[in-house]
Amino acid sequence: MSDAKSELQLMSICGEPEPSGLFRLSYGTEPNDPMPFILTLTPQYVARAIGKTAPIDIQNYAEQNADKLKAIATFEKARGFTTHTLE
């Protein structure tokens, strides 16, 4: 049975990818979750996922695939991890 309070919600999106090209999404079970789950997207992962070569728009990908990324974060957190990088 799913408990709404324990369901991960997107807390924040890095406004712009880091200079390294990484893009971080922070998920938590409450707005000020003291231990949020961090999902990191790499340009290589996004390029493969959309079948294009760099440069790609990681933020647009994250917005269009929010449900898929939330499911990945939920799965990894259930496995006991606090971070996961999609490479």
The answer to whether position 52 is within a domain reads yes
The answer to whether position 1 is within a domain reads no
* Strand-pair category, 83-86 with 37-41: parallel
The answer to whether position 7 is within a domain reads no
pTM of the entire predicted model: 0.86
The answer to whether position 73 is within a domain reads yes
Q: 55 versus 12: which is more confidently predicted?
A: 12
Range of the domain at 82: 36-87
Into how many domains does the chain fold? 1
Statement: residue 84 has pLDDT above 90: yes
The answer to whether position 50 is within a domain reads yes
The answer to whether position 27 is within a domain reads no
pLDDT single digits (tens) 17-64? 777 889 999 999 998 899 999 999 999 999 999 999 877 889 899 999
Give 40-85 as a DSSP string: EE-HHHHHHHHT-PSS--HHHHHHHTHHHHHHHHHHHHHTT-SEEE
